[in-house]
Amino acid sequence: MREEKLGKLLASMTLEEKVGQLVQCNAGQFIENKMDITGPDGEILPAEELNRVIGSVLTFEDAAQARALQDKHLAADPHKIPLLLMLDVIHGLRTTYPIPLAMGCSFDDGLMTECADMARKEAAACGVHVTFNPMVDTARDPRWGRILETNSEEPLINSRMGAAFVRTAQGDDLSRKDNIACCVKHYAGYGAPEGGRDYNTVDMSERQLRESYLPAYKACVDAGARLVMPSFNALNGIPSVANRWLMNQVLRGEWGFSGVVVSDYNAVGELVAHGVAENMKDAVRLAMAAGCDIDMVQNAYYLHLAELVREGTVSEEALDKAVLRVLELKNELGLFENPYHGADEAKEREIYLCPEHREIARRAAEESAVLLKNDGILPFPETLRKVALIGPFAEERHLVGFWSRPGAWKDAVTLPEGLKAMLPALEVITERGCGAEIGDTDISGIERAVAAAREAEAVILALGEPENDSGEGRSRADLCLPGPQMELARRVLAANPRTAVLLFNGRPLALTELDAIAPAVLEMWYPGTEAGSAAARLLFGRANPCGKLSAGFPRSVGQCPLPYNRMNTGRPKPQPDSGVFPFTSSYLDSPNLPLYSFGHGLSYTRFETLDLTLSRETIRPDETLQVTVTVRNAGERAGKEVVQLYLRDRAASVVRPVQQLIDYKKVFLKPGETAEVTFDVTEEQLRFWDYECRYVSEPGAFEISTGYADHPEKTRVFTLTKD
């Protein structure tokens, strides 16, 4: 539809019809479905009344429902304006790949692109027009359950992977039926709640916000994301959905975002609970003033916005701008010509769980897994005849993650299935041993598990968190393995030291006790559809682990939050990080550093950093510094290594991080092979937000390092000069 026709359409609509375009409801209000919802419904209104004017719907099941919803609406809408159909497609639709936090451990933007392409195709076939993805909240506190939904504690990884998802999912032409629009969330600072409790308040300086939290959202906006979702939390005293500085000044003013802003689930109504709105009508006033276009689920706009316009509190011009943004998105998606977009039941049957998609999911699970520890136990030889598979996740199929589609767990490959498919002659004895639920004290199965461990040549000990213990509303105050899992681990490891621990979880855990007794620990996260297949290949060496931690693992919950790129203090604790140093920034009962630092990850081969060289010792702002890292595979297996590049500003007008990841590249090396990995460092990468919130670089000395956080291998110094 041409732009002038959109203008005529808008002019022909009544006030109530305009408001309707800004209203979003659950599909379950119009058709029967089994989709989970993530909060309370708003005020329930007659479905027939809503259906006539409503602008968008979320949480539908499949292409058949997408078509039914669209048909039902178009039959009632006097202007025949199609619905926008939205859905959370966070780490795949039917074929699920690993949770985003795991994908961050791949340090592989290309792999993220492959997974996004798979998700785009399956989502489009389902009838999705908009996905609430990517989620790029910087998260430094593993108590927060939604850390699983972001890629990393590092904004650079979130920026690159988030932008890769946006570019891939949206493509060059949104009207193509296999492309979908992206809604970036949760803007802003949602990943830094007090106490790690979901939905909790966030209070930080503007400089910290701009330095660590805003870059990933901006990267996704710059990549062309068509929608943005404000976060639930209050940011510096103002809930994001009503934060005019955040939405109007920064998002639309500084960044030039012209797309649609959609509230999070019920967030407009929650302004009353926050205490910044007197009532629901007042909440609508505040949200509209901040530029929130769509009210998700609450129905507050439907009930109060027209009245606010009639009384002049909200201008009709502001309403028209919001409605036009929604209509423009529908037009860009080509919905006026084809309201079903890509919804295709035959296509669903063709591509859901197809071999190509399963292969991508398996490879992603392999490259996202992190070998935390290995004292020569792994990989197991394929000549093993009998293994004991022990633990609450030994036969578990719920390994796909919180944001997977209802029933997706049924398609997941279990560990026994993966092992038997790869090694048909292998005898696998399975024992659950105990539960993994918080508060579970039943240890009645441990004796059977110990007996199985004694009988086997080797043990695979599958531990972790139940799938629903990580995700939205799943904050934890204790990061140890829940239930009696440590009792199981102690007993099994005593019975058979040839034991490798497999971890399935959605957040970094406090594994200090387990690390002290387990000879091998392989972090699988929630790997998705091909969980068992990927785990089997990793355990027996058909795949070589190459993942690096995208968030550090604390020694105890008392260290949290524990960002790797922390600021120095005037009294830093001396290195090495051991012992007690009075009157320094340290703990009496624990080292400062995490158990496993950001960027840590082992391999079945051994990589050496031979050299780090700089093309020059001094650069000007218009010049590029070429950094070359020479790395060699000194082991006997082929493998992939992530070369990480860190920066430290030695002296600046404000305190700078002790280390900051500024680039990374993954390389594949055969045994004995050497590669030179080159990075281009520009003046822009040396910039920071100064005390007055100006984005500047300052002349002086900088350190460039490779290795991983807290463990530099090679370091060189260069100088930025403004002369």
Q: Which one of 502, 526, 546 terminates a domain? A: 546
Q: Rg of the chain over CA atoms, in angstroms?
A: 26
Q: What's the confidence (pLDDT) of residue 473?
A: 95
Chain-centre distance for alpha carbon 76: 38
Residue 370 lies in a domain: no
- Whether residue 303 sits in one domain with residue 246: yes
Q: Which one of 301, 330, 346 terminates a domain? A: 346
pLDDT band at 1 (very low <50, low <70, confident <90, very high): confident
Q: What's the confidence (pLDDT) of residue 723?
A: 74
CATH code of the domain containing 613:
2.60.40.10
List, for residues 628-685, the tens digit of each pLDDT value.
999 999 999 999 999 999 999 999 999 999 999 999 999 999 999 999 999 999 999 9
Q: Which one of 546, 565, 592 terminates a domain? A: 546
Write the single-letter amino acid at 660.
Answer: Q
- Whether residue 461 sits in one domain with residue 318: no
Residue 165 lies in a domain: yes
73 has a pLDDT exceeding 80: yes
- Whether residue 387 sits in one domain with residue 304: no
478 has a pLDDT exceeding 80: yes
273 has a pLDDT exceeding 90: yes
- Whether residue 334 sits in one domain with residue 388: no
Q: What percent of the chain has pLDDT over 90?
A: 93
Q: How far apart are CA 706 and CA 712, in angstroms?
A: 6
Residue 580 lies in a domain: no
H helix or E strand, kind and range, residue 608: strand 607-614
pLDDT band at 42 (very low <50, low <70, confident <90, very high): low
Q: What's the confidence (pLDDT) of residue 581?
A: 78
Residue 577 lies in a domain: no
Beta-carbon contacts of residue 637 (< 8 Å; ≥ 6 apart) = 541, 544, 603, 604, 605, 671
pLDDT band at 687 (very low <50, low <70, confident <90, very high): very high
39 has a pLDDT exceeding 80: no
- Whether residue 445 sits in one domain with residue 323: no
Least confident of 29-33, 77-81, 139-143, 658-662: 29-33
Q: What's the confidence (pLDDT) of residue 43?
A: 60
- Whether residue 136 sits in one domain with residue 80: yes
Count of domains in the chain? 3
- Whether residue 386 sits in one domain with residue 290: no
pLDDT band at 41 (very low <50, low <70, confident <90, very high): low
Q: What's the confidence (pLDDT) of residue 625?
A: 98
Helices (H) and strands (E) counted in the chain, each on its own, are 21, 26
Residue 228 lies in a domain: yes
Q: Which two tokens stand for residue 433?
A: 């041993």
List, for residues 218-268, the tens digit of each pLDDT value.
999 999 999 999 999 999 999 999 999 999 999 999 999 999 999 999 999
Residue 552 lies in a domain: no
Mean residue pLDDT of the chain comes to 96
CATH code of the domain containing 471:
3.40.50.1700
Structural domain boundaries enclosing 671 = 607-720
Q: How far apart are CA 13 and CA 50, in angstroms?
A: 16
Least confident of 5-9, 38-42, 431-435, 534-538: 38-42
Write the single-letter amino acid at 407.
Answer: G
Taking Cα atoms as reference points, which of 595, 451, 436 lies closest to residue 521?
595
Catalytic residues: 264
List, for residues 571-629, the tens digit of each pLDDT value.
998 887 777 778 999 999 999 999 999 999 999 999 999 999 999 999 999 999 999 99
Q: Is the dihedral of CA 107, 110, 115, 120 positive or negative?
A: positive
Residue 373 lies in a domain: no
Write the single-letter amino acid at 14.
Answer: T
Residue 579 lies in a domain: no
Whole-prediction pTM: 0.97
- Whether residue 113 sits in one domain with residue 71: yes
- Whether residue 173 sits in one domain with residue 56: yes
- Whether residue 528 sits in one domain with residue 628: no
Q: How far apart are CA 473 and CA 490, in angstroms?
A: 31
- Whether residue 500 sits in one domain with residue 634: no
